[in-house]
């Protein structure tokens, strides 16, 4: 594949803002630039030989080009233009990967007993010493029990999805039929309830974090 002609930052901006063939040529070259970089930038999340990679790359490239055109004025020239574009492509790709990961996951299933039983051991640090890993798992199980007792069903659903399972806030809000800010407040109120419960038991979030910090120290 022949190398594309090099453009300066100023040339990229000028060509993409121009009309007609100049703009189309720049978009073609930029598309090739993004597609060429995606197998490398996404290698930790999706292998290039994965059957889903080609469709994802096409979708990410199209979305990236649209965002680049919409935000040309925000490019400050502190890096190479193509570096800036690749960063946009990575953000678009990771957002799409998260969306696809959660597409077929039911929020109701996050509250199933099997999921709840697996969660503590899944989150506990497997690299920690057995005694510390067991303590982490017990602590997480206790936290889940407190969540069941202290939170409303909707708060529990949100905390399980976002806090325990790592579902993106925007995706959880969409699934729950809520505005993002409303979900943020729901989570805030849930955390306040849990902190009060911890205080009644003579614990604090810091006390719980110490156990996980010990696991990191022992595993290093």
93 and 36 belong to one structural domain: yes
Task: Please indicate, yes or no, whether residues 135 and 55 belong to a single structural domain of this protein.
Answer: no
User: Following DSSP, what letter does each residue of 56-82 receive, concatenated?
Assistant: HHHHHHHHHHHHHHHTGGG--SSS-HH
| Per-residue model confidence (pLDDT) at position 82 | 92
Residue 99 sits in the same domain as residue 113: no
Residue 143 lies in a domain: yes
What is the model's pLDDT at position 114?
39
Q: In which domain, by residue range, is 61 found? A: 9-103
CB 118: neighbour CB atoms within 10 A? 11
Q: Which of 54, 86, 103 is the last residue of a domain?
A: 103
Count each helix (H run) and each strand (E run) in the chain, helices first: 10, 0
- Residue 24 domain-assigned? yes
DSSP characters over 99-150: HHHHHT--TGGGGSHHHHHHHHHHHS-TTS-HHHHHHHHHHHHHHHHHHHHH
Nearest to 17 by CA among 73, 62, 63: 73
10-residue mean pLDDT series, the chain (220 residues): 69 91 92 91 82 87 91 90 92 78 54 40 44 67 82 88 75 87 88 85 66 42
pLDDT digits over 154-182, tens only? 998 888 888 766 777 788 888 889 998 89
Average pLDDT score over the chain: 76
**215 and 145, same domain (yes or no):** yes
For 47, phi then psi, to 5°, come to: -75, 145
Residue 59's CATH number: 1.10.1740
Q: What is the pLDDT of residue 17?
A: 92
pLDDT in the model for residue 111? 47
* 3 in a structural domain: no
Gap between the Cα atoms of 81 and 79, Å rounded: 6
């Amino acid at each position: 594949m022949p190398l594309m002609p090099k453009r300066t930052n100023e040339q990229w901006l000028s060509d993409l803002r121009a009309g007609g063939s100049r703009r189309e040529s720049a978009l073609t070259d930029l598309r090739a630039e993004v597609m060429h970089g995606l197998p490398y930038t996404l290698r930790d999340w999706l292998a290039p030989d994965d059957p889903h990679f080609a469709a994802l790359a096409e979708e990410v490239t199209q979305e990236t080009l649209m965002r680049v055109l919409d935000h040309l004025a925000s490019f400050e020239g502190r890096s190479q233009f193509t570096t800036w574009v690749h960063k946009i492509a990575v953000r678009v790709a990771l957002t799409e990967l998260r969306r696809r990961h959660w597409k077929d996951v039911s929020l109701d299933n996050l509250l199933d007993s099997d999921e709840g039983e697996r969660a503590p051991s899944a989150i506990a640090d497997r690299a920690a010493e057995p005694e510390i890993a067991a303590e982490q798992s017990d602590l997480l199980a206790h936290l889940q029990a407190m969540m069941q007792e202290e939170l409303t069903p909707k708060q529990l659903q949100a905390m399980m999805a976002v806090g325990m399972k790592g579902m993106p806030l925007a995706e959880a809000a969409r699934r729950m039929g809520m505005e993002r800010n409303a979900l943020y407040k729901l989570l805030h109120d849930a955390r306040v309830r849990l902190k009060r419960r911890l205080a009644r038991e003579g614990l604090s979030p810091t006390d719980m974090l110490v156990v996980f910090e010990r696991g990191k120290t022992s595993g290093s």
